[in-house]
Amino acid sequence: MDIETLRHSTAHVLAAAVKNLYPKAKLGIGPNVEDGFYYDFGDLEIKEGDLEKIEKEMQALIKNNCKFARLKKTRKEAEKILKNEPFKLELLKELKDDEITFYESGDFIDLCKGPHINSMVEIKAFKLMKISGAYWKGNQNNEQLQRIYGTAFSSEKELDEFLKMKAEAENRSHIKLGKELGLFLFSPLVGPGLPLITPKGTIIREELQKFLREEQLKMGYLPVISPHIGRIDLYKKSGHYPYYKESMFEPMKCENVEYILKP
């Protein structure tokens, strides 16, 4: 059993648990990500403190040893199954195949191409990590959903080691240390993720820049400066735009020419 399949299957258990606890929640998507998985939900408002309750429901489902059954449905059958799941219906419309794949585990069924583990009981160690907001399909013009992040491993030992490593990394986080040492700060007036560097932080930044310039010159590199904004055609020609447009700012138009900030 590979770790990606295990984590994707755990995401399905998460979705099943949420639907049990919050029947009005609408299903989004639940893919693997680095170090874990997530699942997006519409019509769901929970807090970090609710994750423990969801974990307990997941554990109860796993104890029932539900099997993962792969089902093939016609498009009409799929539409009937997903009639109360608007996000899944939208994904269904994008599928070109007439035969649609679902996975069923106990009372829960989800639109998915798989693969999955054979049974929920194979999930030995998992942890729900945090919640966040997310736009449907990553588009800020779409509905905002609630995303639940989690992780899963083949053993409790691996999970414990991961959680320990993550805690140590958070203690060494530049965000935590930067605040404690007074190197930078953030202002809601400026915007999230946009640091205002203090005099102490500026000294460190300039020393690092000086060190890098000296090392680069030793290696024969010469400095150049390029603008932070360019014509959108540049990114289309390079091939970057289709892959990064969801995480870029909206294009801006000047004299009938579209410009866009660097990703």
- Model confidence pLDDT, tens digit, residues 87-104: 999 999 999 887 899 999
Query: Any residues with CB less than 8 A from the CB of 126 and at least 6 apart, and which?
Result: 10, 13, 55, 58, 150, 151, 152, 153, 159
Q: Tell me, what amino acid is at 158?
A: E
pLDDT tens readout for residues 104-123: 999 999 999 989 999 999 99
Nearest to 186 by CA among 202, 200, 199, 175: 175
pLDDT tens readout for residues 156-173: 999 999 999 999 998 898
Which one is predicted more confidently, 197 or 263? Answer: 197
257-261 β-sheet, strand order: 229-231, 257-261, 252-254
DSSP code, position 32? E
Is pLDDT at 78 greater than 90 in this prediction?
yes
H helix runs in the chain, sequence order: 3-21, 51-63, 75-81, 86-94, 156-171, 174-180, 199-218, 232-238, 241-244
Half-sphere exposure of 32 (CA within 13 A, CB side): 15
Q: Which H/E stretch holds residue 69?
A: strand 69-74
Tell me if the bond preceding 227 is cis, omega within 30° of 0. no
pLDDT tens readout for residues 11-68: 999 999 999 999 999 999 999 998 999 999 999 999 999 999 999 999 999 999 889 9
pTM of the model: 0.73
Query: Any residues with CB less than 8 A from the CB of 56 and at least 6 apart, and which?
Result: none
